[in-house]
Structure 1
Amino acid sequence: MGEIINVQELFGENVFNDKVMLEKLPKKVYKELHKTIDDGKELDPMIAEVVAGAMKEWAIEKGATHYTHWFQPLTGFTAEKHDAFITAPKADGSVQLEFSGKELIKGEPDASSFPSGGLRATFEARGYTAWDCTSPAFVRQDAAGAILCIPTAFCSYTGEALDQKTPLLRSMEAIQAQTLRLLRVLGNTTSRKVKPSVGVEQEYFIVDRAKYLKRKDLIFTGRTLFGAMPPKGQELDDHYFGVIRPRIAAFMKDVNKELWKLGVSAKTQHNEVAPAQHELAPIYAECNVAADHNQIIMETLKRVAEEHGLQCLLHEKPFAGVNGSGKHNNWSLTTDDGINLLDPGKTPHENIQFLLILTCILRAVDKHADLLRESAADVGNDHRLGANEAPPAIISVFLGDQLQDVLTQLIDTGEATHSLKGGTLHTGVKTLPDFAKDATDRNRTSPFAFTGNKFEFRMVGSRDSVAECNVVLNTIVAEAFSDACDVLEKAEDVSVAVHDLIKKYASEHQRIVFNGNGYSEEWVAEAERRGLPNIKSMVDAIPALVTEKAVNLFEKFHVFTRTELESRAEIQYEGYSKAINIEARAMIDIASKHIIPAVLRFNKSLSDTVNTMNQTGVETDVPMDMLRESAHLLSETKKRLIKLTEVTDRATEMEVGREQAVYYYEEVCTAMEALRVPVDELEMIVDKEMWPMPSYGDLLFEV
């Protein structure tokens, strides 16, 4: 019998959560801390001092020797600097363990080497981390021992945000203020808080680590730069939701245990479409906590995989020819008194509050489609979006038959008098129960789909922080609510004004609604006719950050300043160029040092075989044909390798910025794709024992 896991005892055991605070803190301190967490009240330093002492004692009980301010700089990863609890030794050689309120509230990591997009000169090193008490501290146990991790924001000496958390918290304040404003206009006087609630579905690949370590492209870039498709891919759909293999199941069991200890409510696990691809999904959490939890999930997946002799690949497209990985950001708005503002109820046509919120969201997405697309822009996502495996690069909203019908009634007649019902699903089998079905189907090709009581943004890349897309979602919806309130607060008859506004927004922004097949070429043409942007690459998406429309939006709600937006655009361009440069250099290195020598050895073997066969008078047509084909492809490989080297060298000489990034996209990526073609054909010819790296078949099917 396998290990028995008591989830209730395990869950949150390494989290300084509300239960622990209630137990460890004096009642007065507990209440004051909650005022900060719940009401946004400024934290009293004396309260912080008491909390720090309790947090230290609790962490030491868990075996912690160090603490760290755990933050999310603009590198795409988390960052941490560990400090031991010990003080300077006393005269007798003993030490004390201390952790002050000041150390809890503020840290000073060196900011000079983190991306800043020109906000900081390289000699200006000071940066600050500030405790985010709305996301609970936790003790992480790994090879370094036990570390007290304190979620923090990270900003520069001059106050600009240098991280993902700071703008996310700002956007959450903005949407709360504007949603409460809207609710008050609609007569709600009881709700005191509104928070965006987020559930993040995380896709990932798992391969054997020993094979991974023989693939320099995976090590350097996270994806395979070369690789011929195996005889079998995902065409049989047999991996999807299939029985989880024992080695993967053991890995998943340990992932769940580690996540549950850290208070991450990991709920769903299954095989995804591509071979060796899987998915993990937690239960919803408040937006800020969900973003932190997703970072914990990614770190845990990678760490536990290594412990099992496996490797977790979070790149959006680690293998050409099979589906890539993303993460689905399920977003909704909930009040402190338990109301999901995106729940249409059983009769959506009568739910005026829901219809106003819905049409405001349609307006927000239509007006800022470019920003929403940019929030999912990533080097790896360029390989995934629009490839009939993920949403297209065109932003549209799926509403389903029921809500589409309600909007059509509003647009055509000004009144919605009914809502479509789901009816009963008859299975046709007597022993199976008939059951009520939903009023609408789902649409996996839609980038922004309404799925019952939430919107699912499906474009985000598997490695990316979900903070970025939620910053955009929170802020654009806050603007739409604000604009609606500007109208409604001046109205003599609010109910009439609400009705008129719903019809106006539904009519003006119906172009963003599309319920059909987003993978079809017909949709591309239809989207162009509607005037919807089709932003195909990361370099094309980045300019959306610095349009006057974007600057006005973010500055109005104090989420970003113009300077912060300009810096983030520069960071994106630089990051894109560096990523492609690493990929190109890796291709050059692998082709020069591994593939070409391997093919030469193979050709020599063929040549020796031909000579031997000639001496014995045996027909040599087959080896000669193979030798000619291999020699031709080798020649093509060399030519294309030279071309890639030339354009890569030229790119590195250019000044960092948009022009360089565009050159990498248009010239270097094209040369990389060209080089891959003959190499992948050579892999199908060369003796497998001579090929210098594990094949796709080895990686995808031998775990």
Structure 2
Amino acid sequence: MGMAKGAKAIHSFLGWEQEFFVVHAAHFKARPDLVNCGRTLIGALPTRNQQMDLNYFGPVPDRVERLMVILKEEMLKMGSPMAVRHNEVAPAQHEMCPIYSVCNASADSNALFMEIANREAGRLGLQVLFHEKPFAGINGSGKHANWSMGTDTGLNFFHPGKDDESRTIYTTAIACLAHGLCQYNELMRCAVAHAGNDHRLGAQEAPPAIISLYPGQGFEAHVDSIIAGGALLGYKAEKKMQSTGCKASMAVEANSEDRNRTAPFPHCGNRFEFRAVGSSQNCSFPVMICNVVMAAGMAHLADQLATGKKLRDCVAEMYKTNRHVIFTGNGYSAEWPEEAKKRGLPNLNTTPK
């Protein structure tokens, strides 16, 4: 492409969001199903469930707060500073996230986090549950993988930027990603296929098992413009004011292409969030597949450029061929599986498939 000439290497980056449940160790040991399967096999819904966001916005229980502070301190010793800790939607569900880093180091830090969490929880009389669906009737847990790629000079392929070079690279990079996700769709689904995740994917709490790309509605319109013969330039990431719903607080500035939580692969300002990764998984394999499909798209683009075609024409051809993998609608809707079938996208909703 003749851009970013000072770059000598491309790196991928990962920021994981680890969700988990915390229960009393004594209660855990009293349940053979939890001990042996990691999830309950029988039970009834509690009186207090996850209504009205009471858990998400409520105070963190004292012992759980103590556990998360210890985890933050221990992870800092490992060279992985934690940025976020909070309650999640379901009762007894929580989340911790680190500062982003290079994929290899970040994936290793996640494996260490899970090991240290189990060890330190036991010392406090608690038990951490990393199963994707330990309790029926309430939300399960995932491990959202916030993934991006860029050069050693600091150029992020997935950030629209403010100059023509950055915007051209951004539009081209998403064309490469769309090609990889479309041509290797089943491989991407296999990256998150295991029994625990089958309980979670496709429910009203996690993305569907249909792998699609969400670049934002504004960018989707730009893609259609390119396919119709338009220029690569022309898309600008706009900002919007998001109301908090409370008259006493001001609106908050957000990206107009804010992530779609019903999508398995939405764009989030400067990265893509692979939301289908299971909470118990080692995130290195799913992220490796992200790198592989992106590399496949880049290789295809390089082959096309080598024939003498213009960059605009190559990108337009890639978008036209793989347009059906781009979906900006509601992934939870009953109509989406039917629409995906028409588009030729596989719906592998169980691991055996």
TM-score interval, smaller chain: over 0.9
Name the amino acid aligned to 2:296: E
Partner of 2:66: 250
- Give how far 1:250 is off: 1.0
**Alpha-carbon separation, structure 1, partners of 2:331 and 2:247:** 37
- Give the aligned partner of residue 272 of structure 1: 88
Residue 251 of structure 1 contacts residue 305 of structure 1 at CA under 8 Å; is this kept in 2?
Answer: yes
The unaligned stretches of length 5 or more in structure 2 are none
Could you list the per-position Cα deviations for residues 108-162 of structure 1 after superposition, in whole angstroms to 9, with x for gaps in the alignment? xxxxxxxxxxxxxxxxxxxxxxxxxxxxxxxxxxxxxxxxxxxxxxxxxxxxxxx
Instruction: Give TM-score scaled by structure 1 length.
Output: 0.48
3-state DSSP class of the match of 1:509?
helix
Counterpart check, 1:232 vs 2:45: no
Aligned to 1:203: 19
- In structure 2, distance between residues paired with 1:348 and 1:434: 31
Is the CA contact 1:240–1:271 (under 8 Å) kept in the aligned structure 2? yes
- Larger % of helix: which? 1
**Corresponding residue of 1:328:** 144
Q: 2:4 matched to 1:188?
A: yes
In structure 2, the CA distance between the partners of 1:375 and 1:426, relative to structure 1 (3 Å rule), is closer
* Letter paired with 1:276: A
Q: What residue in structure 1 maps to residue 258 of structure 2?
A: 441
Q: CA RMSD in A?
A: 2.1
The CA deviation at 1:421 is: 5.6
How much does 1:350 deviate? 7.7
Deviation at 1:190, TM superposition (A): 1.1
What are the Cα deviations for residues 225-274 of structure 1, in whole angstroms up to 9, with x where unaligned? 11111222112221013221212111111111111111112110110111
1:323 counterpart SS class: coil
Write the distance in 1 (CA, Å) between the matches of 2:146 and 2:239: 26
Residue 273 of structure 2 corresponds to residue 453 of structure 1: no
The structure with higher relative contact order (CA 8 Å, sep 6+) is 2
Distance change >3 Å, CA 532–CA 221, structure 1 → 2: same
* Closer/same/farther in 2, CA of residues 416 and 263 from structure 1, 3 Å limit: closer
Q: 2:281 aligns with which of 464, 476, 483?
A: 464
Q: Out of 180, 192, 196, which is 1:380 matched to?
A: 196
Unaligned runs of 5+ in 1: 1-184, 541-703
Instruction: State yes or no: 1:337 paired with 2:166.
Output: no
Q: Which residue of 2 aligns with 1:217?
A: 33
C-alpha displacement of 1:432:
5.4
Change in 2 beyond 3 A, CA 1:486/1:419: closer
The offset of 1:434, in angstroms, is 5.9
Following superposition of structure 1 onto structure 2, how do residues 366-377 of structure 1 map, counting pairs within 5 Å?
366-377=182-193
- Taking the aligned partners of 1:350 and 1:356, their CA distance within structure 2 comes to 10
Contact 1:424 1:434 survives alignment (8 Å): no
- 1:294 has 2:107 as partner: no
Deviations 1:1-27 (A, max 9, x none): xxxxxxxxxxxxxxxxxxxxxxxxxxx
1:638-657 residue pairs with structure 2 within 5 A? Answer: none
Task: Give me the whole-angstrom Cα distance separating, in 1, the residues matched to 2:313 and 2:73.
Answer: 52
Does the 8 Å CA contact 1:349/1:417 hold for their aligned counterparts?
Answer: no
Structure 1: how far apart are the matches of 2:348 and 2:247?
50
The residue that corresponds to 1:129 in the other structure is none
Residues 511 and 348 of structure 1: CA distance in aligned 2, closer, same or farther (over 3 Å) = farther
Distance in 2, matches of 1:405 and 1:350, equals 19
User: Per the alignment, in what secondary structure is the counterpart of residue 145 of structure 2?
Assistant: strand
8 Å Cα contact 1:331-1:456 kept in structure 2? yes
Per-residue CA deviations over 1:12-57 (Å, capped at 9, x if unaligned) read xxxxxxxxxxxxxxxxxxxxxxxxxxxxxxxxxxxxxxxxxxxxxx
Q: Aligned residues: percent identity?
A: 39
- Secondary structure of 2:51's counterpart equals coil
Match of 1:46? none
Give the match for residue 317 of structure 2: 504
SS at 1:538's partner residue?
coil
Kindly name which structure, 1 or 2, has the bigger radius of gyration based on alpha carbons: 1
Residues 460-498 of structure 1 show CA distances to partners (whole Å, capped at 9, x for unaligned) of 11111111112211112112111211221331xxxx611
Secondary structure of 2:336's aligned partner: helix
SS at match of 1:304: helix
Conserved in 2, the CA contact under 8 Å of 1:395 and 1:447? yes
CA distance in 2, matches of 1:335, 1:318: 40
Compute the TM-score of the two structures, normalised by the length of structure 2: 0.94
| C-alpha distance 486-426 of structure 1, shift in aligned 2 (>3 A) | closer
Q: 2: CA distance between counterparts of 1:266 and 1:363?
A: 34
